[in-house]
């Protein structure tokens, strides 16, 4: 039996903030268990949030500078987190923040310098989990399914409602997973038009009505009919989803209500029967969860806030452990790559002691 003490870092496309989670993973034979000891979310200041949001239009020099500055930010925040919680850590594992994701072109870019994190903490740091899979012909996403398979295998489906909805489930001997549709990327954008950073509890959506015409147009978008493996990038969302929603003359509340119904219906079309674990920021949207429960015949499980808030950070911490052990952390059955891989780049010396 061996235990690894890891800090996982996650910054999602919904720009909610930087999730930092300390997790202890224990391996006994082929079985893994985990325990979270501390977690926090560092909200981005408006200026930093705008930089991350607009980074795709930056020059190479500007993007390189943001890459370094974001790494310094993460390193500083991790150092504070460790001191506050008096933690001893074996490894830091960072997803970074996705700026470009176009696997059909062989491109996926997550910023946040691993060197800067290591320089600030002096703890071995692993990251850059997607590029090897893309180089091998995969989508580079989703990466969470290996964690779903080994850490949350009591559920028939593991559904994440973050900036984008994605699902993972076991199909015979293979783990399958794929992106389904946007969630908070669109819902937050609509809420901002009413002066809210997000629709807390789905209160605004609850005031609206479902518009059948817009709902049908959303269902007809080409991404919905693609077969897995598939992943959804911000580029597609901005090109297809936003123009469709913006040209509608509906009230913001009606748009929110309609989009929640679209999300629920698309998700249900892609779930296995049985029990679904729902995590991510969208799990706190009561209106959206009710729409999902209304459309789904199985059991919808919304776990503790700890798991809702930090599941992705927990799993990216786990991906780092698997990388250090040279075990597969990226599944070809999920991404479409030529074969499974142990992906990630290590900075610093990993000095693990049992």
- Read off the pLDDT of residues 39-72 as tens digits, 9 standing for 90 and up: 999 999 999 999 999 999 999 999 999 999 999 9
- What's the pLDDT band for 183 if we cut at 50, 70, 90? very high
Q: Are 158 and 169 in contact (CB under 8 A)?
A: yes
Domains 2-139+312-347 and 145-306 share a fold: yes
Mean pLDDT of the chain: 95
User: What are the pLDDT digits (tens) for 95-120?
Assistant: 999 999 999 999 999 999 999 999 99
Q: Say which CATH class 2-139+312-347 falls into.
A: alpha beta
pLDDT in tens, 128-167: 999 999 999 999 988 999 999 999 999 999 999 999 999 9
Per the listing, tokens 């901002």 go with 192
pLDDT category of residue 353 using cuts at 50, 70 and 90: low
3-state helix, strand, coil in the chain (%, to 5): 45, 25, 30
Tell me the fold of 145-306. Nucleotidyltransferase; domain 5 (3.30.420)
Whole-structure pTM value: 0.85
Domain ranges of the chain: 2-139+312-347, 145-306
CA 77 to chain centre: 20
For the chain, give the percent of residues with pLDDT over 70.
Answer: 99
| SS3 label, residue 266 | helix
Contact 329, 348 (CB under 8 A): no
pLDDT of 257 over the 60 cut: yes
- 298 and 276 Cβ atoms separated by less than 8 Å: yes
Rg (CA), the chain: 19
């Amino acid at each position: 039996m061996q235990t690894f003490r890891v800090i996982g870092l996650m910054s999602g496309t919904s720009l909610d903030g930087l999730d930092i989670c300390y997790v202890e993973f224990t391996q006994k034979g082929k079985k893994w268990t985990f325990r979270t000891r501390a977690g926090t979310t560092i909200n981005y200041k408006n200026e930093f949030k705008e930089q991350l949001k607009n980074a795709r239009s930056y020059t190479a020099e500007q993007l390189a500078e943001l890459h370094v500055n974001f790494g310094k930010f993460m390193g500083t925040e991790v150092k504070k987190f460790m001191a506050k919680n008096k933690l001893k850590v074996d490894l830091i594992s960072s997803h970074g923040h996705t700026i470009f994701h176009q696997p059909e072109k062989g491109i996926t870019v997550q910023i946040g310098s691993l060197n800067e994190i290591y320089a600030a903490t002096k703890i071995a740091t692993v990251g850059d989990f997607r590029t090897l899979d893309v180089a091998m012909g995969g989508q580079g996403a989703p990466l969470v399914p290996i964690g779903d398979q080994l850490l949350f295998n009591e559920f028939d489906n593991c559904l994440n409602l973050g900036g984008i909805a994605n699902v993972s489930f076991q199909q015979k001997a293979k783990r399958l997973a794929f992106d389904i549709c946007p969630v908070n990327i669109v819902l937050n954008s609509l809420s901002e038009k009413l002066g809210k950073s997000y629709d807390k509890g789905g209160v605004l959506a609850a005031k609206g009505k479902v518009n059948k015409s817009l709902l049908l147009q959303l269902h007809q978008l080409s991404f919905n009919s693609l077969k897995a493996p598939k992943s959804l990038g911000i580029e597609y969302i901005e090109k297809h989803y936003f123009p469709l929603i913006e040209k509608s003359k509906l009230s913001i509340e009606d748009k929110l209500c309609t989009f929640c119904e679209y999300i629920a219906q698309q998700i249900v079309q892609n779930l296995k029967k049985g029990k679904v674990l729902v995590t991510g920021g969208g799990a706190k949207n009561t209106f959206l969860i009710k729409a999902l429960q209304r459309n789904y015949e199985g059991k919808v499980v919304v776990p503790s806030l700890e798991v809702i808030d930090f599941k992705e950070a927990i799993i990216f911490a786990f991906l780092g452990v698997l990388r250090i052990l040279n075990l597969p952390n990226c599944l070809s059955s999920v991404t479409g790559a030529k074969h499974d891989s142990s992906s990630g780049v290590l900075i610093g010396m990993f000095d693990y002691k049992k």
